[in-house]
Structure 1
């Protein structure tokens, strides 16, 4: 069954044997796993054979020098006597040889121990076991290739050299596929330590290879988006710290329209991914299944923060009249939903010094001033300034997305990259207070 599942072409999975307790017949299972190159995880303190192996692995491994050695007959017998009191001398001598065979140095990369008071969780230990096994396979394949190269170095012809390059390219492609699977696995399990070495390796080896860099960028895009949707803040922080362009990671240009389309889709995808309990909070908060249009965000920010908070996604609604109308809709009645409906005639409107809408007039004046300044500035500097402004807006949008989607840890990571952190933190506090009123659970340590 395990072999059939691992060989399935539709999806890739790895077989891992987990030993809880275990009897003397488990030795045969472990020997078969070693032959199949399958990782093994022993649960320490579960009793019997699992504790025998956990004890012997800890005794015969020098973590400081990364060295392992086979335990002596006496050490194996002592461990068996301690955890297998029911075994007689004849059984102990027979099992001893099997245990020593399994604990050979060439098999140690397949043997792992999980200890409850030391390790975070079993899932992380399982991933480490898979990752160690794949790394060892890669090292062995490289070592065998180097030995073959030394033997044939004097005998190689040009044709053989070309054949070798083709084979090397195929091997590299296969290694890249294996690493992609491990990255996907690390993303699903939210195990960043397992993915970090792969990500660092690719950054170092793809600097001079445009084709490989392009393929890796596609992988980074998927990993980054999955990390956002699945709420894996440590992965997101890595991409920020490594200096990746967020627009490239999200596959969009520095254009407001594309940013808004991407943002609405991100809200929808995240809503489908989050747990059912959180989904009900968001539905209650937005009054619908998440965010349907970009204007929804402006209305909700107005409702939770106040009408003094200007519209940041739809500037044409960022006028005094329309903002007051939105404010009335949020706090008074739903009959003010339209900005053109239930309005007083223009002749009866009161505005200071005959100005119909002071804010819209100010915006027009600002546009005129900015356009005059742009004519005198260097076009290259203008583009850099515009790109920086769009990046700041995207960072702001992602922060608000994390807050609205009830992801406090993700919001903390994105808060670091905000221009005005105090303002951002106050906005997050106001929205999270809304969530706290909807929550049915209470943290006892804060009562």
Structure 2
């Protein structure tokens, strides 16, 4: 087994999404930092700071240079960051004529942070695409089952009938809000990190701002009004968004795991894991992973937030703390989205079982409806007391609630009509339509 469950050849496939995981492999980290170094040289040449010939040579070297990650290990252990060792190899590869212009005026954090942002931009694109795919699946599920009654459950107890379509629409509504937040997340995250040694780009003199602008344009990143070396709320905002996403996915997973229990069996996840000894078991692995990841990300987010306590113009300890936490949050979010898409895509909705659950309650799920029907013929407190007494009799005798109420009251109520759970789903249809309209509006904005 690997040093973490993400790295393990045994558990890695369960907990990581390959495309997201690839962004955190050593070769991807090195490639992103070299991309920044190459763009920096070209930006500085554009502004007349270094010779154009050297900039082209450095950029070409950055594109073709293959650095073995293990060759950076000793330097990273000594310096606390891989950039000095990387720059040394880049200078050697660029040749003595151009070596002095490599990494001109930058600091390790500029290269490391900006490389991270380039990789996170790709991660965001992957996660947004997965979110949109999942939203589309949930929109279809909500519409298809708007008229499928299910027992609503509050505090783990049966409450009243509702629509399974509304349940799916509620899941969808959370995802839509996460998608709506993305523009703001991107505007605060996708920023160039470029401050030089102490954050003021003093080594670049009067051309500092021009280089910054040019470099940001070359990398297609925004420019922060001030360096964000030690005020890293954009990263933490992004991590919070990831935790919100996995929290919603964890809620969906929780509902599905509970509904898939043998004694309820109102949904079937469509696949699952087996037991080493019990042939009858089909374990809801996808839903369980969603719950586990949601809890992990919530905990890691609290640890990551502690990295906000940065000292002065650069913090080594808190920077390292980010490396220990943020990648795990990103990796597990990719995995959760993959699991959720598979789970919803294969979900079997057992409408007949849902209706049977309501019917086997002997009318107890319709107690609220009964009290409101009686309240048209007597004071509401009196109606509620009557229904509460009738519920006790139902539990004692197994008689249907409405049959008990017929014997306790002569109110002219069409009890047979009230038995249909489809008549008790309230404004579900309207609510589903509102969520689907929001989905369609968001989809048109793409």
Higher gyration radius (CA): 1
Q: Which TM-score band (shorter chain)?
A: under 0.3
Q: 1 or 2 for the larger relative contact order (CA 8 Å, sep ≥6)?
A: 2
